[in-house]
Amino acid sequence: MRNQKLFLNLLVFIILGAMFSTACTGQSQEATPNTIPEFDDTFASIISATGVVVPERWSMISMQTSGVVDKLLVVEGERVEADQVLLVLAGSEQLQAAVSTAELEVINAQKALEELYEGVEITRAQLVLELANARDALDDAEYDRWVQQEGNRASGEVIAQAEANLALAQKKVEDAEKEYSKYSGRAVDDPVRAQARSSLAAARQQRDSIQRNLNWYTGYPDEIQQGLLDAAVTYAEARIAEAERQLEKLQDGPDPDALELAQARLNNAEVQLSTARAALSDLELRAPFAGTVTTLYLRQSEWLSPGQPVLLLADLAKMYVETTDLNEIDVARVQVGDTVIVTFDALPEVVVNGIVTRIADKASEGSGVNYSVVIELNEIPEKLLWDMTAFVDIEVGDES
């Protein structure tokens, strides 16, 4: 196929030369002095090279952990998604249990921290109520103490009224005593004597009650009473101070010590969970990107060593061609964006257009000074496979 292309290029040059020769001959025969034909002798220069078909992305996958392959979850040729589990080493059950335990502790620690904040709101509401009650109690205690003091128990009018009532009550007692004296010599069970005696007792009780009220109006508390009154005021003041102190502590949220302890518990639980998950992850091999498992290098129940190749993963959705023998002279004429015609040894009837997308900055390893040029194909032919041989003709333009 490559020889055919070279032959076609040579044939084009021969035909062009023949056309030029014929034109010159015709000019001499016709002896026309002013007809020298102008030819467009610009044409695209072609640089040919051999290449190989490669996928857009591929990777040799291995693990950093050793162990026995417990589950091999893929087969060669299988399409996998990014982050899909490909292989699991033995021992994952215990680590999964550790992850579950750590997850539960994180939930409990988070709940404890949330309850700490919720408890602050409940406690704040209780303290506000306690403060209101304490202030009411202080008002009552201060009033009780004030009203018990001498001169504060009653107004002058109340005292004058009480004194007048006392005088009237005393007059009733005296009158009842005179009336009773008339019958005091009679028998004890005499009804008239009993009635007089009852009236006298009632009069004395009324007088004594008025006297006690008057004594209270004009009196003052004794030492014990005063101590009790002062103690009631002091206790109410202490309740207010304590409620205010507790409210002040809650202005910035939960108790700092309790909050620090709860946060430390949550942080430790999250670290334990992260560690458990990392240990479990070390037993799992996941796909770093979506692609096809092209080669498997082990079987289930085999021992896997760190760094040992497990599988070859490639994204075959998009294929490129990389040149393998483009020398340093030719590569200097190639530019990104140059158009390319690509053929394949295994697909002789297929011709695909492409474009240069990348030129290597350094020569490839191996014999000779050759550079890799990556060519993006405009379409992916059916049955095109990784590592197939390709031939590329790169149009680099005229250098004159």
Instruction: Give tens-digit pLDDT for 78-127.
Output: 999 999 999 999 988 888 899 999 999 999 999 988 888 787 788 888 88
The H-assigned helical ranges of the chain are 2-30, 92-148, 156-181, 191-218, 223-249, 256-282, 328-331
Burial tier of 99 (Cβ tally within 10 Å: 0-12, 13-18, 19+): buried
Share of the chain above pLDDT 90, in %: 64
Q: How far apart are CA 151 and CA 390, in angstroms?
A: 121
The tokens describing 26, both together, are: 């015709």
Q: Which helix (H) or strand (E) holds 316?
A: strand 309-323
Number of domains in the chain: 2
Q: How confident is the model at residue 368 (pLDDT cuts 50, 70, 90)?
A: confident
Nearest alpha carbon to residue 88 among 236, 289, 283, 344 = 283
Q: Which helix (H) or strand (E) holds 86?
A: strand 85-89
Same domain, 310 and 358: yes
The CATH number given to whatever domain includes residue 316 is 2.40.30.170
| 200 found inside a domain | no
pLDDT of residue 227: 94
Same domain, 298 and 337: yes
Q: pLDDT at residue 24 above 50? A: no
| 256 found inside a domain | no
Same domain, 344 and 294: yes
Same domain, 35 and 59: no
Q: Residue 242: which residues within 8 A CB-CB, separation 6 or more?
A: none
Q: pLDDT at residue 68 above 70? A: yes
| 167 found inside a domain | no
Q: How confident is the model at residue 398 (pLDDT cuts 50, 70, 90)?
A: low
Q: How far apart are CA 162 and CA 214, in angstroms?
A: 6
Classify each residue of 237-265 as buried b or exposed e, where b means 16 or more C-beta atoms within 10 Å of its C-beta.
bebbeebeeeeebeeeebbeeebeebeeb
Q: How far apart are CA 346 and CA 391, in angstroms?
A: 11
Same domain, 359 and 390: yes
Q: How far apart are CA 305 and CA 221, in angstroms?
A: 96
Q: How far apart are CA 203 and CA 73, in angstroms?
A: 111
Same domain, 36 and 57: no
pLDDT of residue 367: 79
pTM of the model: 0.48
Mean pLDDT over residues 247-259, rounded?
79
Structural domain containing residue 339:
42-89+290-395
| 382 found inside a domain | yes
| 285 found inside a domain | no
| 344 found inside a domain | yes
| 161 found inside a domain | no
Same domain, 30 and 58: no
Give pLDDT tens digits for 264-300: 999 999 999 999 888 888 889 999 999 999 999 999 9
CA dist 309 → 19, 60, 279, 299, 312 (Å): 63, 7, 20, 12, 8
Same domain, 306 and 363: yes
| 269 found inside a domain | no
Same domain, 297 and 379: yes
Same domain, 84 and 20: no
CA dist 144 → 139, 170, 355 (Å): 9, 31, 102
